[in-house]
Amino acid sequence: MDGMNWKTGYRSFYYEGAPEPEDLSLPATETALLCIDVQNYGLAAKATETENARWAPFFQRMRETVIPNLRSLQDSFRDHGIDVVHARIACLLEDGRDRSLSQKMPGWNNLLMPTTSAESQIIPELAPVPGEIVVTKTTDSALTGTNLRLVLTNMGRRNVVVTGIYTDQCVSSTVRSLADESFNVLLIEDCCAAGTDELHRRELEIVNMIYCHVLTSAELVESMGLKASPRP
C-alpha cells in the first residue's frame, strides 16, 4: 500500500472508482477495541519441521508486527479509558459437542479446546487486564456465537476497532457480522494476520469499504487523537 492511505488503499474491483470516504469520527465514549483469538494455540510450534517452515512467515509477522502493534494499541486505549474487549475460541464441553459445524470440520479448523485448556488461553503479551470483557465463542464470528452484540449495544459502542487472527477467517467473519448489525467497523491491518501475507491482503481488499474501513494502527491513533503513555 505504498503511497496510499486508508482512504485509497486496499481497493477491490468493486470499489476501484469509488469516492474517498469521509474523515473518521470515533468518539472514545462510542468506540471499543476488539481483540480476536490471539491465543496460545495460534503461536504453538507445529508437529513437523515442514509445517513449522511453512508457517514461519506467519510466526514472524505475529512476533515482529502484530503483537507489538496490538499491545501498543491496547495500552493506548486503556490509557484513554476506552474499552478493550477480547474474544477467544473455546468449547464449553470437554468433548466439544457444543462447537459449531465450522469448528468440527476435518482438518486445520477442527479445534477442540475446552475453556480450561492451555492452548485456549489468550497469549500473555495481549492478555486481558482486570475488568475487561472476554467472550468465549464456539463459532468463527465473535458476534454470532456470543452476547457481544448486546454487550456493545448496552455500552453504547457503535464503533468497533477489530484486530486479531486470522484475517481471512474469524476476523473476517466477525467484521461481516458486525457490519450486518450496523456497527461502524475499523479493521487494523498491522494488528491482524492470516496464514500467508497473500491471504491477508486479499481479505483486506474484499472487506474494505463495504464491511469496514481498513487502517493501520498509526492511522487509527492519529484519527482518534490518542497518545500512548511511555512504557518501562
Q: What pLDDT sits at residue 111?
A: 86
Q: What pLDDT sits at residue 231?
A: 53
Q: What's the whole-model pTM score?
A: 0.95
What percent of the chain has a predicted confidence (pLDDT) above 90?
A: 87
pLDDT in tens, 179-218: 999 999 999 999 999 999 999 999 999 999 999 999 999 9
What grid cell was written down for 205? 481488499
pLDDT in tens, 161-184: 999 999 999 999 999 999 999 999
- End-to-end Cα separation, the chain, in angstroms: 32
pLDDT in tens, 69-122: 999 999 999 999 999 999 999 999 999 998 888 888 888 778 889 999 999 999
What span, in angstroms and rounded, lies between the C-alpha atoms of 109 and 129?
28
Question: What would the mean pLDDT of 32-42 be, rounded to a whole number?
Answer: 97
Split at pLDDT 50, 70, 90, the class of 11 is: very high
Domain 28-224: give its CATH architecture.
3-Layer(aba) Sandwich (3.40)
What percent of the chain has a predicted confidence (pLDDT) above 70?
A: 97
Please check the confidence at residue 230 and state whether its pLDDT lies above 70: no
What span, in angstroms and rounded, lies between the C-alpha atoms of 12 and 172?
15
Please check the confidence at residue 145 and state whether its pLDDT lies above 80: yes
Please check the confidence at residue 14 and state whether its pLDDT lies above 60: yes
Q: For all residues of the chain together, what is the average pLDDT?
A: 94
Cis amide linkage into residue 166, ω under 30° from 0: yes
Q: How many helices (H) and strands (E) does the chain have?
A: 7, 6
What span, in angstroms and rounded, lies between the C-alpha atoms of 218 and 159?
17
Question: What would the mean pLDDT of 32-47 be, rounded to a whole number?
Answer: 96
Listed range (105-114, 118-127, 132-141, 221-230) with the worst mean pLDDT? 221-230
Task: With beta carbons less than 8 A apart as the criterion, state whether 76 and 31 touch.
Answer: no
Locate the domains of the chain by residue range. 28-224
Paired strand residues for 89? 137
Q: What pLDDT sits at residue 82?
A: 97
Q: What pLDDT sits at residue 225?
A: 93
Q: What pLDDT sits at residue 5?
A: 94
